[in-house]
Amino acid sequence: MVAAVESLEADVVVLGAGPGGMAAVAAAADAGATVVVLEAQEHIGGNAVWSTGYLAFVGSAMQAEQGIADDEERFVADARAQVDLLEDRYGVEWNEDLVRLFARESARTYDDLTARGVRFSRFIPRPRQHSVDRMAAVEDSWMLGRAYSADFRRDEVTVRYGTVADRLVVEDGRVTGVLAHRSADGERIRVAARRAVVLATGGYQANPELRRRFQPGFAARGPYLGIDSCRGDGHLMGQAVGGDLVNMTVVPPLVIVSSSVVEDAIAVDPAGERFHDEAGPYEERVERLRALPGRRAWYVVDSTVAREKETLIGQMPEPPVQAPTLAALAGLIGVPATALEDTVRRWNAFLDGGADADPDFGRVVLPPGRRRCETGPFTAVPMTEGINFCCGGFRITTEQRVIDVFGRTVPGLFAVGDCVGGLNPVSDLGGIHICGALTFGRLAGQAAALGGSDSAEHGSVLHAGLPSMLGTRVALVHLDGRLDADTRS
């Protein structure tokens, strides 16, 4: 085994600094723990840097201020309806206890974020997903990272950026640390965790080998939206020490585009006409796109939106097309010019009116989202099907402790964010993904700081007579999918 060139030690080790990791770091430090953070990127924020910043809260102060009645039972009913939509297609396993926990704790997350300076401007109506307005828009999506930046400068927090975790260290059946390496030079780091390790490494959409292992066809090879460090490192490391993965085949498709772009765009088909609710459910957008000849369509925006969203538009899988007029743009993308001009004229007329929902597809548009598409040059962004996040992750307890394949917790190991498999199936409601990571990250950080071990049974998956991997001293994970173990005593 290669010797580590740097040794660190802390009460809690957090692997990843996305939303779940950020919240875990802050909560653990607030609880008096020392923390070491290993982050593969050179900055905090993780996949949230791609987010528009829509977060759903249940029973938040913002809802109360606007007279919106919301509660746990209402949210659970909405979540159950969403899972029912996915059940036949994927065989979803969802954890109602986790969904209820989110419903009870998300308002606290709202309070925490606003206390940290995050400002929410308005609710984003999604009547076909959320039965009440609970999805709030952050004024600036960069606020999420800035809200936690001070925590990463605290004396009790040590951060190593550009550092990839490779394997968990297990001693006497308990996770006690991690071995990692620096991306720049490959040098090794060993970090000891006196109390716990928190897996917050994100999803596995950037790992084609892992996607092919669990997903069929296009879901395994299509493009993805997100950062390239979402390789499933935490999934593989946790699995190596017995963690039970669920929902690994659940990869809801989406049209790869930022919601921030969609909010000010018109979706047009090869006939030059609108063909769906641009802000509707992700899977509905994909279904409408698949039904078109050649699966070709575009999001059309004017110069004002293109200038404001230049970075997001530039990150799309296919390059945008631009022209000085709508007629010229129609010629470049091969749609009838008259039809495209009529479509834009009709959309602008709707925005000028007093209705909240458009007459064609029921898209709800409220101020300040009423921006006309009128100033050239005009831009067409090709619509491309792909994936954003994977729903697969570990079964966990309501304390975010990882459960093994025998239904018992893995001592010393927690999981949050995209490393969790029981909450993500309801993420298509909208606003749950990041808020769930922040909420469970906070709870995991608090529990990890306290240490201890929950040894209760949580439902066995494999036959109890099979040997447990927790007898190993160090579990080694190779990211090409091979697994071995150092069983030296």
Question: Both ends of the chain: CA-CA distance in Å?
Answer: 14
Instruction: Assess whether pLDDT exceeds 60 at residue 484.
Output: no
What's the fold here for domain 257-383?
Answer: Flavocytochrome C3; Chain A, domain 1 (3.90.700)
Dump the DSSP string for 267-288: EE-TTSSB-S-TTS-HHHHHHH
**What pLDDT was estimated at residue 145?**
86
Instruction: Give residue limits of the domains in the chain.
Output: 6-251+390-486, 257-383
Instruction: Assign residue 207 a region (left: φ > 0; alpha: ψ between -120 and 50; beta: otherwise).
Output: beta
Among candidate residues 397, 470, 390, 373, the one with its CA nearest the CA of residue 424: 390
Which residues does 222 contact at the CB level (< 8 Å), separation at least 6?
253, 385, 386, 387
State residue 37's pLDDT score. Answer: 99
Confidence bin at 324 (pLDDT 50/70/90): very high
Give the chain's mean pLDDT: 86
Confidence of residue 464 (pLDDT cuts 50, 70, 90): very low
Give the model confidence (pLDDT) of 348-379 as tens digits.
998 888 777 788 887 776 556 568 999 999 99
Tell which residue, 166, 173, 120, has the closest CA to residue 143.
Answer: 120
What pLDDT is stored for residue 475 in this prediction?
38
Sign of CA dihedral 266, 269, 272, 276: negative
Please name the fold of domain 6-251+390-486.
FAD/NAD(P)-binding domain (3.50.50)
Res. 255 pLDDT band, cuts 50 70 90: confident
Residue 487 pLDDT level (bands cut at 50, 70, 90): very low
CA atoms within 13 A on the CB side of 146: 12
Structure tokens at 405: 């394949």
pLDDT(457) > 80: no
- Token pair recorded at residue 350: 């709707």
Length reported for the chain: 489
The pLDDT tens digits of the residues spanning 158-204 come to 999 999 999 999 999 999 999 999 999 999 999 999 999 999 999 88
Contact, 452 vs 397, CB < 8 A? no
pLDDT at 468: 34
